[in-house]
Chains A and B, each alone.
Chain A
Amino acid sequence: MADLTVNGDRKEFRVVGKPNLPGELSWAVATGVAKFGADYVIPDMVEAKFMRSPYAHAKIKSYNLKKALAVPGVVDIVTYDDPEIKKFMRPGGLGGKPSPFITDTAHEENGIVGFIAVAENEDICEEVLRQIEVEWEELPNITDIKKGKEAGAPVIRPEDRAGVSSPFGGPPAPPKKGNVAISNQNQGDVEQGFKEADYVIEYDLNMPAYASASPNPHGSVAWWFDDPYLGRDNIHIEGAVWHASGGKNAIAQLYGLTPEKTVQEGLFQGGKYCDWTIRESQQITPFLSKRVGRPVRCINERKDTFDYMVSQRFMHLKVGFKKNGLITAFDDYSIADGGTPGNSFFGTSGDQGYGPYIGTKCKNIRQNMDIVDSNRGLMAFSSQFCPFNWDAITMAYHAIAEKLGKDPIDIARINLHGPDGQDDNRPVPSFDACIEAGKKLMNWKWHKNGAKRLKDGRLHGAGFRYQMCPRHSMGTDFHAVLEFRDGVVRLPIQGPHAGVFSVEGVAMIAAEELGINFEDIKIDYDPNAIFVSISGGADGLVNTGWVLKQCAHKLRAQIFEAAIAEADKPAFGGFGGGFGGFGRKMPPNPLKGKKPEDLDIIEGKIVLKSDTSKGVPLKSVRANLYATFSGCAPSPLWPAKYDLINTLYCEVAVDEETGEVEVLRYEAAVDSGKVIRRTSLESQLDQVAYNSQGCQLLEDYFYDPKTGVKLNHNYIEYKKAGMLDVTDVKEPELIETRAGNGVYGANGISHSMANTHLIVCAIYNAIGKWVDPPATPDKILQALGKA
């Protein structure tokens, strides 16, 4: 009988929690033999490229292909008014409605518009696109969203976003005015909350736009083929990797095929963290291949390196609180970049239920958001940061601490509600555990703003933040499969390798439950497998891991039954003999006459619980077995529970003369509930450090105010943090309260621990001024009145 409890009662772990169990595909990655979409080169292949708009907002009035069609090596030019492409709609998705694949209108500089060139190679594609004579009608653009919301601003997309409402519920939004859609969510009586307050503070949280994190150029290579089994007209596509439902199966759906008629062998996706959007370059290749009758490769333009972004947001916060630091009212007004058509709804509609305020005891919350259409770019999903910006409350705690002369950690503790919701006044054990570990780790001694100098004369500042663990993929059914064949446990699983080692995580769980070693699980990567493990040391694993754990229990029971049956009725040759044992006297099988409950598996051997020295090797069981389990961890969808907390800490030194900020320490005390694959969790914290320090000290997009042209598209012009720019998380404290709702009480941590204002808070503690990220030396000096 499977163990169907939420957390299980396992106390001892042999496999789960171990560090340094290498990734199954790590050698393929390290040796360069792993092939990502952009790596595929197919015989007789042609290349395709989209025209990219030179304008931030423009419409094609007319065009002439004569010169373009005369370019040597041109194979095809697809125009926006081609009847075939007009029928080929791009599906809606995360924030978008179904839309024509290419249109005559560009909504951002460098955005896809008008034409697709197909030619013998990429260079010819570019030349073909250059030779298309286009008469453009330049349209007004908005890249400054504050100006875009002004009454007199040109309305750039009157039809979009009207009446936008949260896909997660919440009240319907009022009609759009001009460029602005409105998302308001209120609870309690905010004005009354301010009346009850002893103090009221106001501050701004300004978040620049950040580049998306995908390192690999998105794109695909596709061709059509006939097959004696699959029949006519099947697609082979490489590069449209995500787990099958979002990758090749989505391609199949787009082309009206069943999933099995779309084949993909590649296992490597590249970094795509909370970016669940499949790109045009991944969708279009089968269409083009059908037209030209040859394999087609379409890889995104890399001179511009980054395609999607994390959207800009300006927030103004007003917070009322009592003398003890208890917050009585939040008033949050923000102006958010609504981006271009298809922009993610995250961070731009109805997110109060997911943001930071719901974690506090305060019930008077007003959140008004103006979502401004723009020509700045597109946010794919939530990308690397928490889209609800929990640092609105991080800043509040630091500002209240300064006002009251109290430690911000104490302010957080008094405001945080208990695990069961806003009416629960109990402390959160997970929070307390993190704080205890974090304070010890940091030797935490809070001081008032500007009160501490280092020996070298620089100002010292400290910052702290907490965040709940998001519940990714909870509430979704997963279908786990384990096979036992030829004495070996096999895990058929889709992949892909996305960088979070989720396959290894669930394999560790299976090994744990089956009493075998991690190395003894044979992982069968198969894009057509039904089981997919979403996320690794982070979040979804707690659900997929839970499902696989139940599946492992079923397989274990089947193995016991089969082993006993084989002991009771030995096959020819008997136990240990096989064919070679004919005529020999076999040793008695210790499992004979036993019941499943009498047995256990230890180190790959089925043993008697009563005498673990007696047993048979798992490999000797001849039966072929197949166990399945469908379901999800019996847990509510985020955020009904508030059980696990993660904390981050940093210390900075600020040089008043130069304005330079040095991150002295950046540390984490996090409660993942239960560590599944330790190295994955540590790596997730590395990612947190990288993204957080980059965005708070280095990164920002710039647009030409007149033309709306983005001025820093790429790695040369846009500074991403390198090896020398990041202060490592040196001593992460990985706490295991087992209070989560996934497998073994796990809940992961999540890259949404990546934040935009922890270092900013530490700088505030050092110099007593708020500085918007990126906190570059010029801004620091300006804040100090020196520039």
Chain B
Amino acid sequence: MADEKNNINRRSFLKNAGVIIGGGAIGAAGMTMRPEMAQAANAVKSVPKTVTQFRCPLCSKNFNSFAELKTHFKGDHPDQVMPTTTKLNINGEDCEVLIEPHWTLQRALQFKLGLTGAKQMCNRGACGSCTVIMDGRAILSCTTLAVECEGKSIQTVEGIAADPKWRPLIDSYCKWDAMQCGYCTPGFLVSAKALLDKKANPTEDDCKQALAGNICSCGTYHRHPTAIMEAAPTIKGGA
């Protein structure tokens, strides 16, 4: 099987990861995985657990603590909305982010946590590219405020990819070209995982219904049920 292949030049990926906040090199955690899965695992591990940089979103000044930032804000930007800190649980890990109160979860994931699997596409809850799983339900992170997610368990595509249990699903997606340009693919994959969490062996119709909220501009639609249904029986421990 071609999924045994492991010969891609990863130079670009590694360099890319280097410039992304929260990104980093492939670590020991992924030694037995494909490099991409290891990279996803590393992205999950690299999520900053605490806020270390208290940067003013308006003037870019850095402060050592949230208290100092608040003092600065009250003095220099008295009419502006104060940033806030929010505790999130992402892929099983607790973390804290400094955000503005109106930030969406998608934005917090991308800009503060270095997780780029939840893609910004329509930015209004119509395309499904930003899908994540929150407390077991597939939700749209572009229309969910990050501050509303406190205390909830959020799983992103990176978290799914980092879990070896779900490798058959990812392999099956790759085998069946259930992607073309790939921008929307992570959103589909998260929706697929959410379906499999509920139904271990879905029918084609189940798949279509579950993925009906995801738009693919390349028209890959019917490849997704194929990939999901092929993977389902091989997911260890059942989906």
A interface residues, Cβ below 8 angstroms from B: 20-36, 38-44, 72-73, 120-121, 123-124, 213-217, 265-273, 302-303, 305, 497-501, 518-519, 522-526, 679-680, 682-683, 686-691, 714-716, 720-724, 726, 728-730
Task: Apart from A31-B170, A215-B216, list 18 A-B contacts with CB within 8 A.
Answer: A20-B176, A24-B8, A26-B177, A29-B182, A30-B185, A31-B158, A34-B182, A38-B120, A215-B184, A302-B122, A522-B7, A523-B8, A525-B12, A680-B177, A686-B223, A714-B124, A722-B213, A722-B221
Q: Which residues of B contact A523 (CB under 8 A)?
A: 7-9
| Interchain CB contact (< 8 A) of A120 among B2, B60, B115, B121 | B60
Contact with A along B116-149 (1 / 0, CB 8 A): 1111111110110100000000000000000000
22 of the cross-chain contacts (CB-CB < 8 Å) are: A29-B179, A30-B170, A30-B182, A31-B158, A32-B40, A39-B116, A42-B19, A72-B58, A73-B58, A214-B217, A216-B119, A265-B16, A266-B16, A525-B11, A679-B176, A683-B218, A686-B222, A689-B219, A715-B122, A715-B215, A720-B217, A724-B212
In angstroms, Cα B221 to Cα A690, docked, is: 8
In angstroms, Cα B216 to Cα A689, docked, is: 12
Answer yes or no: B15 CB below 8 A from chain A CBs.
yes
The smallest beta-carbon distance between A713 and chain B, in angstroms, is 11
Q: Which residue of B lies closest to A72 (CB)?
A: B58
| Interchain CB contact (< 8 A) of B4 among A20, A217, A519, A525 | A519
Q: Which residues of B contact A25 (CB under 8 A)?
A: 8, 182
Q: Do residues B58 and A26 form an inter-chain contact, with CB atoms below 8 A?
A: no
Q: Which residues of B contact A121 (CB under 8 A)?
A: 57
The smallest beta-carbon distance between B186 and chain A, in angstroms, is 4
In angstroms, Cα B120 to Cα A38, docked, is: 8
In angstroms, Cα B117 to Cα A724, docked, is: 24
In angstroms, Cα B184 to Cα A730, docked, is: 23
Q: Do residues B181 and A272 form an inter-chain contact, with CB atoms below 8 A?
A: yes
Q: Which residues of B contact A214 (CB under 8 A)?
A: 217
Q: Which residues of A contact B60 (CB under 8 A)?
A: 44, 120
Q: Which residues of A contact B239 (CB under 8 A)?
A: none
The smallest beta-carbon distance between A720 and chain B, in angstroms, is 6
Q: Do residues B2 and A30 form an inter-chain contact, with CB atoms below 8 A?
A: no
Q: Which residue of A lies closest to B100 (CB)?
A: A123
Residue among A39, A215, A721, A726 facing the most chain B CB atoms (10 A cut-off): A215
Residue among B59, B126, B182, B214 facing the most chain A CB atoms (10 A cut-off): B182
In angstroms, Cα B171 to Cα A21, docked, is: 11
The smallest beta-carbon distance between B56 and chain A, in angstroms, is 8
Q: Which residues of A contact B121 (CB under 8 A)?
A: 215-217, 302, 305
Q: Do residues B208 and A723 form an inter-chain contact, with CB atoms below 8 A?
A: yes
Q: Which residues of B contact A714 (CB under 8 A)?
A: 122, 124, 126
Q: Which 6 interchain pairs have the tightest Cβ spacing?
A: A32-B117, A690-B219, A29-B182, A499-B181, A499-B180, A31-B161
Q: Which residues of A contact B111 (CB under 8 A)?
A: 41
Q: Which residues of B contact A34 (CB under 8 A)?
A: 182
Q: Which residues of A contact B118 (CB under 8 A)?
A: 32
Contact with A along B199-239 (1 / 0, CB 8 A): 00000000011011111111111111000000000000000
| Interchain CB contact (< 8 A) of B223 among A22, A27, A213, A683 | A683
The smallest beta-carbon distance between A285 and chain B, in angstroms, is 14
Q: Do residues A518 and B214 form an inter-chain contact, with CB atoms below 8 A?
A: no
Q: Do residues B185 and A29 form an inter-chain contact, with CB atoms below 8 A?
A: yes
Q: Which residues of A contact B21 (CB under 8 A)?
A: 41, 43
Q: Which residue of A lies closest to B42 (CB)?
A: A33
Q: Which residues of A contact B115 (CB under 8 A)?
A: 32
Q: Do residues B183 and A28 form an inter-chain contact, with CB atoms below 8 A?
A: no
The smallest beta-carbon distance between B11 and chain A, in angstroms, is 8
In angstroms, Cα B214 to Cα A715, docked, is: 11
The smallest beta-carbon distance between A524 and chain B, in angstroms, is 5
Q: Do residues B181 and A215 form an inter-chain contact, with CB atoms below 8 A?
A: yes
Q: Do residues A33 and B124 form an inter-chain contact, with CB atoms below 8 A?
A: no
In angstroms, Cα B120 to Cα A729, docked, is: 29
Q: Which residue of A lies closest to B210 (CB)?
A: A723
Q: Which residues of A contact B19 (CB under 8 A)?
A: 40, 42, 265
B interface residues, Cβ below 8 angstroms from A: 2-5, 7-9, 11-13, 15-17, 19-21, 34-37, 39-40, 43, 57-60, 77, 80, 100, 102, 110-111, 114-124, 126-127, 129, 156-158, 161, 170, 173-177, 179-186, 189, 208-209, 211-224
CB-CB under 8 A for A497 and B124, given A22-B175, A31-B157, A39-B110 = no
CB-CB under 8 A for A27 and B34, given A524-B9, A715-B122 = yes
Q: Do residues B170 and A27 form an inter-chain contact, with CB atoms below 8 A?
A: yes
Q: Do residues A32 and B186 form an inter-chain contact, with CB atoms below 8 A?
A: yes
Q: Which residue of A lies closest to B116 (CB)?
A: A39
Q: Do residues B39 and A31 form an inter-chain contact, with CB atoms below 8 A?
A: yes
In angstroms, Cα B9 to Cα A679, docked, is: 23
In angstroms, Cα B17 to Cα A272, docked, is: 24
Q: Which residues of B contact A40 (CB under 8 A)?
A: 19-20
Residue among B15, B179, B217 facing the most chain A CB atoms (10 A cut-off): B217
Q: Which residues of B contact A273 (CB under 8 A)?
A: 218
| Interchain CB contact (< 8 A) of B158 among A32, A36, A215, A682 | A32
Q: Which residues of B contact A683 (CB under 8 A)?
A: 177, 180, 218, 220, 223
Q: Do residues A728 and B40 form an inter-chain contact, with CB atoms below 8 A?
A: no
In angstroms, Cα B210 to Cα A350, docked, is: 47
Q: Which residues of A contact B17 (CB under 8 A)?
A: 33
| Interchain CB contact (< 8 A) of A715 among B127, B212, B220 | B127
The smallest beta-carbon distance between A511 and chain B, in angstroms, is 12
In angstroms, Cα B16 to Cα A267, docked, is: 10
CB-CB under 8 A for A687 and B218, given A715-B124, A716-B126 = yes
The smallest beta-carbon distance between A200 and chain B, in angstroms, is 38
Q: Which residues of A contact B102 (CB under 8 A)?
A: 123
CB-CB under 8 A for A72 and B217, given A31-B36, A32-B186 = no
In angstroms, Cα B72 to Cα A606, docked, is: 72
Q: Which residues of A contact B124 (CB under 8 A)?
A: 303, 714-716
In angstroms, Cα B116 to Cα A722, docked, is: 23
Q: Do residues B183 and A270 form an inter-chain contact, with CB atoms below 8 A?
A: yes
Q: Do residues B218 and A525 form an inter-chain contact, with CB atoms below 8 A?
A: no
Q: Which residue of A lies closest to B37 (CB)?
A: A31
Q: Do residues A27 and B37 form an inter-chain contact, with CB atoms below 8 A?
A: yes
Q: Which residue of A lies closest to B115 (CB)?
A: A32
In angstroms, Cα B58 to Cα A682, docked, is: 50
Q: Do residues B181 and A265 form an inter-chain contact, with CB atoms below 8 A?
A: no
Q: Do residues A271 and B170 form an inter-chain contact, with CB atoms below 8 A?
A: no
The smallest beta-carbon distance between B238 and chain A, in angstroms, is 21
Q: Do residues A33 and B117 form an inter-chain contact, with CB atoms below 8 A?
A: yes
Q: Do residues A27 and B36 form an inter-chain contact, with CB atoms below 8 A?
A: yes
In angstroms, Cα B222 to Cα A40, docked, is: 31
| Interchain CB contact (< 8 A) of B183 among A36, A525, A687 | A36
Q: Which residue of A lies closest to B205 (CB)?
A: A724
CB-CB under 8 A for A686 and B176, given A32-B186, A42-B19, A525-B9 = no
Q: Do residues A215 and B215 form an inter-chain contact, with CB atoms below 8 A?
A: yes
CB-CB under 8 A for A21 and B2, given A31-B161, A73-B57 = yes
CB-CB under 8 A for A120 and B213, given A32-B40, A683-B223 = no
In angstroms, Cα B211 to Cα A641, docked, is: 43
In angstroms, Cα B15 to Cα A72, docked, is: 34
| Interchain CB contact (< 8 A) of B123 among A303, A688, A689 | A303
CB-CB under 8 A for A686 and B221, given A20-B175, A36-B183, A715-B124 = yes
CB-CB under 8 A for A73 and B59, given A31-B40, A728-B221 = yes
Q: Which residue of B lies closest to A294 (CB)?
A: B60
Q: Which residues of B contact A518 (CB under 8 A)?
A: 2
Q: Which residues of A contact B174 (CB under 8 A)?
A: 22-23, 26-27, 30
In angstroms, Cα B15 to Cα A525, docked, is: 13
